[in-house]
Structure 1
Amino acid sequence: MSSSPIIVWFRESLRLSDHPALYTAAQAGGPVVCSYIYDQESPELRPLGGATRWWLAQSLRALRAELQSLGSDLVIRRGPAAKVLGDLAAETKAAAVYWNDVAQSGPRAVADGVEAALGRIDVKTRVFADDLLVDPAEMRGKDGRGPRVFTPFWKRVLALGAPPKPLPTPVRLTPLAGLASLAVDELGLEPTKPDWAGGLRDAWRPGARAAQQRLTQFLETAVGSYAAERDRPDIEATSRLSPHLRFGEISPRQVFHAARFAAEERPALAKGIDKFLSEVGWREFSRHLLFNNPDLATRNLQPSFDAFPWIQNDAALAAWQRGQTGYPIVDAGLRELWHTGSMHNRVRMVVASLLVKHLLIDWRQGEQWFWDTLVDADPGSNPASWQWVAGSGADAAPYFRVFNPVLQGEKFDPQGAYVKRWVPELARLPAPLVHQPWAAKPLELAEAGVALGRSYPAPAVDHKLGRERALAAYARLRTSD
C-alpha cells in the first residue's frame, strides 16, 4: 500500500462507476485526491454555453455528494489545468496524477500541458481510454483518413465486438484531509440576474444516479417501441440520456452493455435496442469526426460550401431564436429549447433545415445558438448534425432535401399536442390546422383566438419559395465548382 496520494483529475467523466482512472487509483490502496479543475483560461478549450454551465454545476454537486458517501470529497479549483494540478501535486506530495482521456484535440493539448508540468516536478501520470467505444486510431482507413459515412463506420464498430465491461464503483476511498476547495457556487456557473434556469430545473435531474435510473427506466419501458416512435415529439419515446453522456455521468460502455443485456433477457426488444444503440453510434461517429477535424464547428467539411451565398439577416435569426418563425413545429421546438435546454431530435432537424435552407442563414450561427442553449451541447454531435442538415458535412443529407415544416408537423405530431404545449396561442385550433394556421378560415381563427400577424406571426418565408431559393443557391454553388 502506497502512502503517497494519487490525484484523480475528473474531466468529462463526472461519475464514480466505470471510471478507469478512479478505479485504478483506488486499487493502489493509498489516499486518493479527487479533483475537478474549472479551466476557462486554457485557449485550446471551447467555452461552455449557458445551459451546459448550469448542468455542470448540478453534476459537480451530485459528484461531490457521491464521493462524500464513500468517505471522500471533491477538491474543486479553478485556473489553467497545468498550473493548478502542478500546484495541487506539490501541495499533496502526490506520487501520480491519473485521468481519463478526452479524445479531442483541445482537451488533449491541455492534458499534454499537464503532463509536461507534472514531469518537471517528477510526478508520474497515467491516462485511461474512456469517452468512446473505440479508439479513433483504430478506425482510420488505409489512406489514413477517418470515417466519413456512418453506416460502414457503425458496422465496423460492431464487428470489433463488445467494448470492455464497465468497472465497478470503488467501495471506499481514502481521502487526504485539509485540502482547500471551492464551493460549486463560487464557480459562477449558474444564472442569477436574471435566473432563467427554472425550466431546466423542472425538466432535468443531473448526476450519475439519475443517469442510471433514466437508462433503467428506458430499457424497461419505451425501448420496445423506440424504433417506431422515436421521431414523435408528442410522446415520451426517447431515452433523454444525451446530457448525461455529454458530461460523462454515464459511459457509452455502460449504455452498450445494459442495452445488450436487456436484449438478451427480452428478445422482443431487440429491434428497438438495435436502433437505440445506433443512435449511440451517431454520437460515437460525431466524436470521431471531431477527433479528425478539430475545427468541425467552424469549417465546412466539404470545401465547396465555402462559397455558399449565406445571407446575414439578424432580424430573421432573432425571430428564429425566439420561436417566432410562423411555422408551428419549428417555433414549438425553439421554445422547448429555451425553456428546458433540450429539443426533440426530429424537431432539431426541421428547425435547422428552416434556418439554413428556407432562410439561407449560415449553419454556424445555428450551431452557436444550440451550443449556448442545449444542456446536451456536445462538441461533436452539435456541429456534425448542423453540417449534416446543411449538406456541408460528412454523410450529409442531400442539399435538395428541404424539410417541409407543415408535413413534418402533420406526420410526427399528428394531433398537434407538441405544438399546442409549446405554442399555446394555437392551442384552440383543431388538429388539421394547428401546423398551418394560415390555412384556417377567418371564423376558425376567430373562434381559436388567433390573429395572424399579431398573436402569432405569418410564416417568415413561404415554403415553396424558400425551397426554390435554396435550390437555386445550391445550383449556383455547383456551377461555380
Structure 2
Amino acid sequence: MPSPSIVWFRDDLRLADHPALRAALDRGEPVIGLYVLDEESDGIRPLGGAARWWLHHSLASLAERLAERGSRLILRRGPAHRVVREAVEDAGAGAVFWNRRYGGPEREIDAALKSDLREGDVEVASFAASLLFEPWTITTGAGKHFSVYSPFWRACLAQPAPRAPLPEPREVPGPSRYPASDDLDDWDLLPTEPDWAQGLRDTWEPGEPAAQARLREFLDEDLGHYDDARDRPSAGATSLLSPRLRWGELSPHTVWHAAVETPGASGFLSEIGWREFAWHTLYHFPDLATKNLRPEFDAFPWPRLKPTALRAWQKGQTGYAMVDAGMRELWETGYMHNRVRMITASFLIKNLMIDWRRGEEWFWDCLVDADGASNTFNWQWVAGSGADAAPYFRVFNPELQADKFDKTREYIGRWAPEYTDADGQPPMPMVDLKATRQNALAAYEKVKQVSRQE
C-alpha cells in the first residue's frame, strides 16, 4: 500500500525551485502538501495584519496550483510539532520533507519533530531553499560570524556560485485518500470589520505566477537603471520582490540566476546579500526582535513613551512631509520604499526618542514583507544597536532627504498631497529637528560613557 510523502510548506509557497517537493517526487510515492498555521508554539511570533492578508491569498494560489497538477494542500492549525505528527498519522505518510527555517524557535521545533518522526520510522529530510548560503557556512577567518556587511558579502561571493534553481514540476501525483483539512476562510486571515485591505488589493496580487511575472518585468524594464534610480521613491525602479521572497513565492536562487548575467546587476544582487546578512545574523542571535545586538545600547536612556507622539507617527501626522508620506504609503499598501523606511525609522528613534522596538512592532503589523530577520535587523541598523549599524549620530533629516530624493515632490504629492497643494493645510511640525537631534546625540554620549566604564 502506498505511503504518501508529505511536503510541509512554510515560507516557501511555490512549486518552482522547491527542493523538499522535488525530494517527495523523487521518492516515487503520492505527494500531499501541508501548511500549518502555528500561532501557539513557544517563541513563534504571530503574523501582523498585512502579512495575514498576503498569506491567505498566497495559500489560495498554491492550493490551486497543486490541484492543477494532481494533489492538494492540506491546511491545519495549531502547534506545529503536534499538528504535523497528526497529519502524518492521518495520511499514513512514510516521509516528510521541508525546507529549512533559521529562526531560533523554528529550528527547535523542526529538530524535535525530525527526531520524533524518525523514531517512528518516518523518513525525514530538510533542505536549503530560502537562502543562497547556509548561515553556518559563512564565517570569518577565525571561524566566527560576520558583524559587518562588506566582508560578509565578499566572503559569500568567494563561495561557489549558488546552485541553479530546480524546474517546476508538471505533475504532483496525489493519494487516493487525503487527510482532513481546514477551510482557508475559517482561519479569518482577511480583515472584515473593518475591511482595511482595499489598498493592498489595489497594489498586490499574491501568488507564485504573479511573482514570476514581476521578476520578468523588473529584469526587462527596471534593472538597467536600478542603481541610478533606486533611492528615488517616485522612480518606480525598485524590484518590489521583497514580499515574494518573504513568502517564498520566489526563491533567492531563482532571482540570483535570473539577474546575475544582466549588466549592472551587482547593486541589486547586493541587496539580496543584505537579506542574507539579516538572516545569518538572526541565526546567530535569535532574540534580535527584542534585544539590542550591541549590549551597550541597553543603557540608552529612552524617555517615557508618549502615546500621542507614537500615534502621530503611525498615522503620518508628524508635520514632516517625507515622514508622513511614507507612513501613509505603508498603511495604504502594506509597503514602503526602502529609502523612506530609513527616514521614517530615524525620525521615530532619534527625533521622537521612541524605542526602536515600538517602530518595529508597527512595521511588523503593517508590512506585507515583514519577516523575522529583515524587519528587526533593519530597525536595529537605523537605531545603531545592530550589526554593521549606521552610526547613531547619523540622523536622517527628513527635509534634506526630501530635497535630495524627491525633488519634484512627486512622492510626497501622491501620499501627503496637503504638503504640495497650494490650499493644503499640513499639520504643524511636532518637534524641532535640530533640537531633537542634539537631544539624541546627548543620550548617545551617555551610552558611550557607560560602555567606557565597563
Q: Secondary structure at the match of 1:378?
A: coil
Matched, 1:235 2:227: no
1:279 to 268, 271, 274: 271
- Give, in whole Å, the separation in 2 of the partners of 1:341 and 1:200: 6
User: Which amino acid is 2:36 matched to?
Assistant: I
Q: Which residue of 2 aligns with 1:434?
A: none
Q: Which residue of 2 aligns with 1:467?
A: 437
Q: Which residue of 2 aligns with 1:50?
A: 49
Matched, 1:456 2:426: yes
- Give, in whole Å, the separation in 1 of the partners of 2:372 and 2:158: 26
Q: Which residue of 2 aligns with 1:325?
A: 318
Q: For structure 1, which segment, 21-30 or 48-57, has the greater mean C-alpha deviation from structure 2 after superposition?
A: 21-30
User: Which amino acid is 1:310 matched to?
Assistant: W
CA contact (8 A) 2:260 2:269 kept: no
Q: How does 1:329-478 map to 2 (within 5 A)?
A: 329-428=322-421, 448-450=422-424, 455-478=425-448
- Give, in whole Å, the separation in 2 of the partners of 1:82 and 1:387: 31
Q: Secondary structure at the match of 2:6?
A: strand
Q: For structure 1, which segment, 371-380 or 138-147, has the greater mean C-alpha deviation from structure 2 after superposition?
A: 138-147
- Give, in whole Å, the separation in 2 of the partners of 1:157 and 1:251: 17
Q: How does 1:131-170 map to 2 (within 5 A)?
A: 131-170=130-169
How far 1:177 sits from its partner (Å)? Answer: 3.5
Q: Which residue of 2 aligns with 1:98?
A: 97
CA contact (8 A) 1:229 1:237 kept: yes
Q: Which residue of 2 aligns with 1:308?
A: 300
How far 1:144 sits from its partner (Å)? Answer: 4.3
Q: Secondary structure at the match of 2:238?
A: coil
Give deviations 1:70-120, integer Å, cap 9, x for gaps.
111111111111211111111221111111111221211111232233234
Q: Secondary structure at the match of 1:76?
A: strand
CA contact (8 A) 1:298 1:364 kept: yes
Q: Secondary structure at the match of 1:367?
A: helix
User: Which amino acid is 2:78 matched to?
Assistant: G
Q: Which residue of 2 aligns with 1:290?
A: 282
- Give, in whole Å, the separation in 2 of the partners of 1:427 and 1:399: 31
Q: Which residue of 2 aligns with 1:89?
A: 88
Matched, 1:226 2:221: no
CA contact (8 A) 1:44 1:109 kept: no
Q: Secondary structure at the match of 2:260?
A: helix
Moved over 6 A (4+): none
Q: Which residue of 1 aligns with 2:182?
A: 182
State the TM-score, normalizing by the size of structure 1: 0.91
Q: Secondary structure at the match of 1:221?
A: helix
How far 1:142 sits from its partner (Å)? Answer: 4.8
Aligned residues: 449
User: Which amino acid is 1:234 matched to?
Assistant: S
State the TM-score, normalizing by the size of structure 2: 0.97
Q: For structure 1, which segment, 108-117 or 150-159, has the greater mean C-alpha deviation from structure 2 after superposition?
A: 108-117
Q: Which residue of 2 aligns with 1:438?
A: none
Q: Secondary structure at the match of 2:395?
A: coil
CA contact (8 A) 1:44 1:110 kept: no
User: Which amino acid is 1:213 matched to?
Assistant: A
How far 1:39 sits from its partner (Å)? Answer: 1.1
User: Which amino acid is 2:104 matched to?
Assistant: S
- Give, in whole Å, the separation in 1 of the partners of 2:115 and 2:187: 26
CA contact (8 A) 1:332 1:422 kept: yes
User: Which amino acid is 1:388 matched to?
Assistant: W
Distance 1:142 1:157, change over 3 A: closer
- Give, in whole Å, the separation in 1 of the partners of 2:220 and 2:413: 29
Q: Secondary structure at the match of 1:459?
A: coil
Q: Which residue of 1 aligns with 2:199?
A: 199
CA contact (8 A) 1:355 1:366 kept: yes
CA contact (8 A) 1:82 1:117 kept: no
How far 1:143 sits from its partner (Å)? Answer: 4.3
How far 1:424 sits from its partner (Å)? Answer: 2.1
Give deviations 1:416-457, integer Å, cap 9, x for gaps.
1111111122232xxxxxxxxxxxxxxxxxxx223xxxx421
CA contact (8 A) 2:232 2:406 kept: yes
Q: Which residue of 2 aligns with 1:433?
A: none
Q: How does 1:63-142 map to 2 (within 5 A)?
A: 63-142=62-141
How far 1:24 sits from its partner (Å)? Answer: 1.4
How far 1:176 sits from its partner (Å)? Answer: 1.7
Give deviations 1:27-78, integer Å, cap 9, x for gaps.
2221011111111111131111111111100100010111111111111111
Q: Secondary structure at the match of 1:296?
A: coil
User: Which structure has the larger Rg?
Assistant: 1
Percent sequence identity over aligned pairs: 52
Give deviations 1:390-441, integer Å, cap 9, x for gaps.
111110111111111111001111111111111122232xxxxxxxxxxxxx
Give deviations 1:208-233, integer Å, cap 9, x for gaps.
11111111100001111100100011
CA contact (8 A) 2:326 2:341 kept: yes
Give deviations 1:304-344, integer Å, cap 9, x for gaps.
11011112121111100000010000000000000000000
- Give, in whole Å, the separation in 2 of the partners of 1:402 and 1:93: 58
CA contact (8 A) 1:115 1:125 kept: yes
CA contact (8 A) 1:102 1:130 kept: no
How far 1:241 sits from its partner (Å)? Answer: 0.2
Q: Secondary structure at the match of 1:231?
A: coil
- Give, in whole Å, the separation in 1 of the partners of 2:255 and 2:319: 39
CA contact (8 A) 1:83 1:117 kept: no
Q: Which residue of 1 aligns with 2:19?
A: 20
User: Which amino acid is 1:138 matched to?
Assistant: T
CA contact (8 A) 2:132 2:253 kept: yes
User: Which amino acid is 1:404 matched to?
Assistant: N
User: Which amino acid is 1:275 matched to?
Assistant: G
Q: Which residue of 1 aligns with 2:40?
A: 41
Unaligned runs of 5+ in 1: 264-269, 429-447
User: Which amino acid is 1:449 matched to?
Assistant: D
- Give, in whole Å, the separation in 2 of the partners of 1:127 and 1:480: 45
